[in-house]
Amino acid sequence: MKDTLLESTLITAVIVILTIIFGNTGTGLASNIMIFFVSIIIGTPFAIIGRYIGLFFDWFSSAIGIDYGSTIYKYVGFLLGAWIGVGISVNLFSNKIEVAFIAQCHEQLQSKSQCQCLYNKVDNKYNLDETILNNPNKEIKDFIIKSTKECIKNN
């Protein structure tokens, strides 16, 4: 059991680190630290459960005459369980407004770094919330246009 716990914790840690680096979880250091630790806490038990489900499928497939090897089932179970845990914690602790803003910006025209720059400028001046994002007034729209040009120029 000790090896299973270590394996599942390491697999979960790798998945959450990759999610933070390549995913869109927001940029707050405190938020990403929280996501990391909660992912480990939630993802490890899911990974262990996934391992045992994988072992069950290994047993079942062997019983019906198909043998893929227990390693495949075990690690697929580990990965699926860890992904579920990471997904739950990212959903709970990421800055949803920042994630939505950057995703929408990135879809339309800029690189991710330009969108992050734009988000930081707008959030620093207006403290973004859903009302501002959904119904910006003329002053905010003008500021976004000006900031977009600056971010494109600087990034």
Neighbour-count burial for 94-117, b at 16+ CB within 10 Å, e otherwise: bbebbbebbeebbeeebeeebbbb
Domain total in the chain: 2
Separation of alpha carbons 155 and 146, rounded Å: 14
Same domain, residue pair 105 and 89: no
Q: What are 26-50's pLDDT values in tens digits?
A: 666 777 787 888 888 888 888 888 8
Looking at the structure, do residues 114 and 78 belong to the same domain, yes or no?
A: no
Residue 146, CA distances (Å) to 71, 103, 143, 155 in order: 55, 20, 5, 14
Each residue's pLDDT tens digit, 45-82: 888 888 788 778 777 777 777 766 666 767 777 788 88
Q: Are residues 82 and 39 in the same domain?
A: yes
Residue where one domain finishes, among candidates 93, 115, 140:
93
**Is residue 26 domain-shared with residue 78, that is, in the same domain?**
yes
79-115 pLDDT per residue, tens:
888 888 888 887 777 777 777 777 788 787 668 788 8
Supply the pLDDT for residue 31: 73
> Which range marks the domain in which residue 82 is found?
2-93
